[in-house]
C-alpha cells in the first residue's frame, strides 16, 4: 500500500495580505465606475456610437453579398458591350450524350453582348412577361412563365395557363407578342452560332425556355431556391448552349441578382442590363449560380438550345 502524503498546512494570513486583497478589490470596484464616467462624456459616447454604426454597416454590406467572393466583373451594368467572349476548356459532360458533329461543343466558353437586342425590344419582351405573370405568381421569390409548355407559377404550384385560363388568354396577349418573341429567339440563336463557329440551323430550341421574375420574398418551395450553383447540362440533359436575355437593370430595378460563373478562387460575374444577352456552353466548364435578389424585381428570359433535333421544340403560337 502506497504511503499517503499529508497536505501542507496553510499558513495563517497576516494583516499585510488582507490589506493587499482589500486594495485589489477596491480597484476592481473602481474600474466599472471609471468606464461608466468615460462613457458619459459626450464626445466619447458619440465616437463609440459612430464606430458601432460603421461596424453594423460593414456587416450588413457583407451579408447582402456586396462582393460575394466575385473576383472579376465580365460585364458591368453601366457599360455597353459590343461583344465579349472568353474561351474555356470543354468539360467531359458532352461525352455521355450523343454527339452531333458540327454542333456539339468542341469550342467552349462564355460571351456577353449588348448590341443584339435593343433596349426597346427588351422593354416589349418584358411586357409579355409582366402580362403573363400577372395571371399568377409564386408565393416565394421566383416565378416562372413558359409560353411553350404553358407552365405558370401560381402559389406553390404550376398550372397550364392555356388550359387554366382558356379563351381569356386572347385578352392578355397579342399576336404581335409571339412574333416579337420568335424574332428575339432567332437573333440570340444567330449570336450563339457565330460565337461558336457553328451553323444556326444545327441549333434547336429546347425546353425549358422560360421567363423568370425574381424578388426578395422568402422561398416557399424548392422551386423558389434559384441561387444554388448548378450545371445546365447536368440539370437539363438536352441543353448544349444556354443564353439569358436580361429585361431589367442591376442596381436600378433590383439589388443582388448578379449572374456568377463559379471558378476556384476567381468567380466572374455578369451584371444584368436590359437588352444584354449572356450566353455559354452548358457543361461543367460553366458552373454558375444567381445571387439572391435583395430588393426590387429582376426579369430575364432563359433561351436554351440543343444539338439533338429530338429535343427540339417549336416557337409558341398565339392561341
Q: Which residues are catalytic?
A: 298
Say if residue 27 is exposed, middle or buried (CB neighbours under 10 Å; 0-12, 13-18, 19+). Answer: exposed
Residue 208 is inside which H or E element, if any?
strand 204-214
Q: What is the largest CA-CA distance in the chain?
A: 104
Cα separation, 239 vs 288, in Å, equals 14
Which cell numbers hold the place of 63? 451579408
Under DSSP, the state recorded for 43 is H
The full length of the chain comes to 319
**Does residue 93 sit in helix, strand or coil?**
helix
Residue that the C-alpha cell 460565337 belongs to = 195
- Asked whether the beta carbons of 307 and 205 are under 8 A apart, the reply is no
Backbone angles phi, psi at 213, to 5 degrees: -125, 120
- Asked whether the beta carbons of 156 and 220 are under 8 A apart, the reply is yes
Amino acid at each position: 500500500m502506497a504511503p499517503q502524503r499529508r497536505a501542507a498546512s496553510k499558513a495563517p494570513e497576516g494583516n499585510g495580505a488582507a490589506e493587499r486583497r482589500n486594495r485589489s478589490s477596491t480597484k476592481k470596484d473602481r474600474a466599472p465606475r471609471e468606464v461608466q464616467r468615460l462613457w458619459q462624456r459626450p464626445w466619447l459616447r458619440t465616437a463609440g456610437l459612430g464606430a458601432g454604426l460603421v461596424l453594423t454597416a460593414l456587416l450588413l454590406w457583407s451579408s447582402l453579398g456586396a462582393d460575394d467572393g466575385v473576383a472579376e466583373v465580365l460585364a458591368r451594368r453601366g457599360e455597353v458591350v459590343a461583344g465579349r467572349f472568353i474561351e474555356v476548356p470543354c468539360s467531359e459532360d458532352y461525352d455521355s450524350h450523343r454527339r452531333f458533329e458540327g454542333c456539339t461543343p468542341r469550342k467552349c466558353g462564355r460571351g456577353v453582348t449588348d448590341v443584339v437586342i435593343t433596349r426597346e425590344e427588351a422593354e416589349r419582351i418584358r411586357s409579355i412577361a409582366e402580362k403573363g405573370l400577372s395571371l399568377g405568381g409564386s408565393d416565394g421569390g421566383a416565378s416562372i412563365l413558359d409560353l411553350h409548355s404553358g407552365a405558370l407559377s401560381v402559389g406553390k404550384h404550376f398550372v397550364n395557363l392555356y388550359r387554366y385560363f382558356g379563351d381569356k388568354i386572347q385578352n392578355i396577349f397579342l399576336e404581335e407578342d409571339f412574333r416579337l418573341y420568335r424574332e428575339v429567339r432567332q437573333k440570340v440563336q444567330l449570336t450563339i452560332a457565330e460565337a461558336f463557329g457553328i451553323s444556326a440551323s444545327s441549333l434547336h430550341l429546347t425546353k425549358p425556355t422560360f421567363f423568370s421574375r425574381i424578388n426578395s420574398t422568402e422561398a416557399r418551395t424548392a422551386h423558389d431556391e434559384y441561387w444554388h450553383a448548378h450545371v445546365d447540362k447536368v440539370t437539363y440533359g438536352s441543353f448544349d448552349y444556354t443564353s439569358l436575355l436580361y429585361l431589367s437593370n442591376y442596381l436600378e430595378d433590383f439589388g443582388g441578382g448578379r449572374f456568377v460563373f463559379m471558378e476556384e478562387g476567381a468567380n466572374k460575374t455578369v451584371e444584368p442590363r436590359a437588352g444584354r444577352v449572356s450566353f455559354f456552353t452548358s457543361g461543367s466548364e460553366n458552373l454558375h449560380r444567381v445571387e439572391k435578389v435583395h430588393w426590387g424585381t429582376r426579369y430575364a428570359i432563359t433561351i436554351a438550345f440543343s444539338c439533338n433535333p429530338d429535343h427540339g421544340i417549336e416557337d409558341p403560337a398565339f392561341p
